[in-house]
A and B are shown apart, each in its own frame.
Chain A
Amino acid sequence: MSISAEVTFETLKRELPAAADYAAAAGLALDDASLTPQNLRLHLRLINAQGEIFHVEFDWADYPLYPPTVEFVSADHGERGTKRLYPQGFHPTPCICMRYNRKAYGERGGPHADWRLLDWRLPTGNGIAIDTLCLMISDLHSKVRQSNGRMT
């Protein structure tokens, strides 16, 4: 089952204002300039506790049925998912080990065989569901700004 790219695009357009407001308030660079139904990708720049810059890519294919694939990438987006692109503190596979990341699920090769992709909106522990772009940005920002150094 999949979601049409137009539906995903419209869903993101509704979420983007809140996400952009959050990013601006937090001093983050959210790049949605190239977001189209044909290119469902967004990029976010984050800074860790030591001032190092990290780049995150969201690939929204089939959202909101499934969560995005969230990955640390290089500044030019040409390299992705290598340990040197990750801040310290994330799962060493490497992976952003959260329900909002498709890569974290066992059925997609990730470490969480105990999660079902269709349940991605469930909260973590007894907390809240992180199920919007704004909350995903907030969660990543909290973690990266507490982090020191790179995974390798």
Chain B
Amino acid sequence: MNEPQFPVVYITDELARRTAALLDSFASRRPSEGVVYWFGIETALAAVITTLVVPDASTGDGAVHTSVQTNAKAIGVVTGTALVYIGQAHSHPGRHVAHSCVDDQETFAIFDGALSVVVPWFGRYGLRIDKCGIYRHLGGKFCRIENPQSHFRILPAFADLRSRNEETFVHGE
């Protein structure tokens, strides 16, 4: 049986950059991982991240923990809107971006299709797909994605093509 197909998740480079900066902000006082929840609009073909929510996570031991109440507050941000939970990004302190057992079991909102992105170096150097661990919940468990383009893409947030500019800036991957 074929795995069900899930929409490609898109995020703009501006929100990807902001995600990384928010992750790094968890490590501003102590070496601590961070987490950002991604909400957005989902259709059969594409899911577009529009909104970043930083939960009031506990980080005292350097890892991220979120309570039921904390996650309820995060969901409350989008309650009554068209936005749905699409996935989350969390940071690791070094270059290693593999899901731990804790990541597999305790990641918020586990359901098939959910995206989980592990960002290295506390997010300090940004969110680059080729440097991140890209996971998707498929067939009842989180699976490391070997072909990220089929699941997660970064788009330009803007392009300024005016000819009077010396340079044309188009961001994204």
Contact surface of A with B, Cβ cutoff 8 Å: 18, 21-22, 25-26, 123-128, 130, 134-135, 138-139, 141-143, 145-146
Contact = CB atoms under 8 A, between A and B. Distances in A.
Interface in B118-139: 121-128
Interface of B: 13, 16-17, 20-21, 24, 27-31, 93-96, 121-128
Which applies to chain B's interface (DSSP): helix, strand, loop or mixed? loop
A21 B29 contact: yes
A127 B126 contact: yes
B29 A141 contact: no
A138 B122 contact: yes
Contact of B125 (A22, A26, A127, A134): A127
Contacts, number: 63
A141 B17 CA distance: 23
Contact of B31 (A123, A127, A138): A138
Contacts of A127: 17, 20-21, 24, 123-126
A126 B20 contact: yes
A130 B121 CA distance: 13
Contacts of A134: 28
Contacts of A125: 125-126, 128
A4 B119 CA distance: 40
Contacts of A126: 13, 16-17, 20, 125-128
A123 B29 contact: no
B124 A139 contact: yes
Question: Considering residues A26, A125, A127, A139, which has the most beta carbons from chain B within 10 angstroms of its beta carbon?
Answer: A127
